[in-house]
């Protein structure tokens, strides 16, 4: 279990993973050394699984974000492994979830443009023999950006 101080520390780290121990301690009411020790314990306990930079898709030339639902034709373990290997090899696929309901997988993708999304769907996903159907939704706007977890 984490206490209120750990919750504040985790929230501060989600907002700014590069925060110094001094600033982190000031933000959560601890000394720099106490904040650093707590941070190290949260890392060791697996509550903090890593740190990453948030990149600007538009600055990288990625103008189309889409969610792609995939319905499988076959549900064997081999078909699932083959499909997941395919997904892992596609750099445009930035996240993949398995679902209940009509679709078996939901993919979040970033592409340079609509022709690149079309290429991904029609030339890489649909030719896979385990894939029965693909449905995509193109993101028009993202009024709430990706956020940290509620702590």
Fold entry, domain 4-44: Arc Repressor Mutant, subunit A (1.10.10)
CATH code given to domain 58-138: 3.30.70.920
pLDDT tens, residue by residue, 11-42: 999 999 999 999 999 999 999 999 999 999 99
pLDDT digits (tens, 9 = 90+) for 33-86: 999 999 999 999 999 999 999 999 999 999 999 999 999 998 999 999 999 999
Give the start-to-end residue ranges of the domains of the chain.
4-44, 58-138
What pLDDT shows up at residue 74?
87
**CA–CA distance, 29 with 35 (Å, rounded to integer):** 9
Give the Cβ contact number of residue 12 at 10 Å: 21
Residue 67 is predicted with a pLDDT of 98
List the one residue out of 133, 128, 77 whose CA is nearest residue 105: 133
Could you report the per-residue pLDDT of 115-128, keeping only the tens digit for each? Answer: 999 999 999 999 99
**What is the Cα–Cα distance from 33 to 87, expressed in whole angstroms?**
43
């Amino acid at each position: 279990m984490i206490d209120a101080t750990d919750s504040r520390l985790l929230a501060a780290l989600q907002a700014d993973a590069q925060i110094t121990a001094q600033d982190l301690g000031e933000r959560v009411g601890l000394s720099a050394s106490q904040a650093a020790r707590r941070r190290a314990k949260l890392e060791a306990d697996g509550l903090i699984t890593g740190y990453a930079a948030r990149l600007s898709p538009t600055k990288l030339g990625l103008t189309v974000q889409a969610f792609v639902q995939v319905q499988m034709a076959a549900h064997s373990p081999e078909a699932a492994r083959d499909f997941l290997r395919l997904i892992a090899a596609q750099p445009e696929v930035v996240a993949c979830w398995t679902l209940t309901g009509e679709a078996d997988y939901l993919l979040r993708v970033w592409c340079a443009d609509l022709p690149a999304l079309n290429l991904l769907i029609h030339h890489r996903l649909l030719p896979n023999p385990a894939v029965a159907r693909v449905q995509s939704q193109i993101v028009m706007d993202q009024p709430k950006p990706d956020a940290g977890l509620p702590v």
